[in-house]
Amino acid sequence: MSAVLDIVPLRSLVAVAECGGFHRAAAALHITQSAVSQHVRKLEKVLDRPLVVRDGRRGRFTPAGEALLAEARRILTAHDEALRRLGVESSDGVIVVGSSEHAADQLLPEIATALRAAFPRRQVRFRLDRSGRLAQAVDNGSVDVAVVLSADRGTFAGRLPLRWYAAPGFRLPPPGEPLPLVVFDEPCALRRRAVEALGAAGREPAIACEAAYLAGILAAARAGLGVAVLAGVGGRPEGLAPLAGLPPIQPAALRVRVRAGAPSSLASVAAAAVEQVVAGG
């Protein structure tokens, strides 16, 4: 029999990445942690290679896992959008919430709590992705509400503070030498802010590593490849330390966007939850 990638295990794999581990993924999907593990093992059997390995208390995606994760996001998006086009709506009352990965550890619990209180009969499901893709998902109706980095469209929900981070012991190159940066690939608001801040201070940036998702940024920064700009709310990222000696970075505007036809209160509830997080950062 030819290899098959089932939708349910793919959804569990994406949840592991988006929620930061098997335990949180299980809670978000309302299944047991062992079920999530079984789903990942099933995918590993199909691909005949490891996808997630233990790294301390968290799971770390292997290169094969990162590759499948990107494919899984595309497959699930196509699957869910096909159901909507065919008129199969979320009869279980699911609110699909999109969020950028920046400060997701702090944003997601607050948004989930607020939405469950406001819409007690509906389930909340999250999708983490880049802001541009989330905006498109809101426009085509596959995401109900999304928190994105945006300077214009949507309900303003506060400004996300940004800070420089690097591996402990990382030494800044002397003035006059390029500063190695670990950045998201374009388009990326944080990348532009980092480059602009360095340019205004007379420092030349040098792109040392590009990544599509936060996991890649964190891995490269922990490996000492360069300096990364990350959200400055909550605790510091594991394995990294704030880096002094660089120019401050302007905060990024966070906005909430909702799909056409969504409940009118959805934007205000989500925006209030985001404001609470960034105000406490």
Cα 4 from Cα 153, distance rounded (Å) = 40
Environment class of 275 (CB within 10 Å of its CB; exposed 0-12, middle 13-18, buried 19+): middle
DSSP character for 235?
A: S
Q: What are the residue ranges spanned by the domains of the chain?
A: 7-86, 94-155+253-280, 159-252
**Which tens digit of pLDDT belongs to each residue from 156-205?**
888 888 999 999 989 999 888 999 999 998 888 888 888 989 988 888 99
Provide the percentage of residues in the chain whose pLDDT is more than 70. 92
Helices (H), the chain: 7-19, 22-29, 33-47, 63-85, 104-118, 131-140, 189-200, 214-222, 266-279
Query: Can you give the pLDDT at residue 90?
Result: 47
Query: CATH topology of 94-155+253-280 equal to that of 159-252?
Result: yes
Output the six-digit token pair for 231: 């959200």
pLDDT, residue 86, reads 76
| Average pLDDT taken over every residue of the chain | 84
The pLDDT tens digits for 31-81 are 788 888 999 999 999 999 999 987 655 678 899 998 998 888 888 878 877
Quote the pLDDT of residue 209: 92
- pLDDT-derived band at 92 (thresholds 50, 70, 90) equals very low
User: What is the fold, at CATH topology level, of the domain defined by 159-252?
Assistant: D-Maltodextrin-Binding Protein; domain 2 (3.40.190)
**Nearest in space to 145 (alpha carbons), one of 111, 116, 189, 121:** 111
Indicate the CATH number of 94-155+253-280 among 3.40.640.10, 3.40.190.10, 3.20.10.10, 3.40.50.1360: 3.40.190.10
Handedness of CA 218, 223, 229, 230 (dihedral sign): positive
pLDDT at 91 over 60: no
pLDDT digits (tens, 9 = 90+) for 136-161: 888 877 788 898 887 678 888 888 88
Omega cis (within 30) before 187: yes
Distance between CA atoms of 146 and 257, rounded to whole angstroms?
5
| Cβ count within 10 A of residue 177 | 11
Per residue in 253-273, pLDDT (tens digit) is 889 998 877 777 888 898 898
Nearest residue to 20 via CA among 52, 68, 45:
52
What CATH fold (topology level) applies to the domain 7-86?
Arc Repressor Mutant, subunit A (1.10.10)
CA-to-CA dists, residue 125 to 67, 68, 150, 266, angstroms: 23, 21, 22, 14
Residue 88, pLDDT above cutoff 70: no
- Say what the pLDDT of residue 55 is: 66
Q: Provide the residue count of the chain.
A: 281
Q: With 90 as the cut, is the pLDDT of residue 128 above it?
A: no
CA distance 170 to 159: 28
- Provide the pLDDT for residue 208: 92
Tokens 């591996």: give the residue: 167
With a cut of 60, say whether residue 87 has pLDDT above it.
Answer: yes
Confidence band of 17 (pLDDT split at 50, 70, 90): confident
Query: Pick the residue with more confidence: 131 or 26?
Result: 131
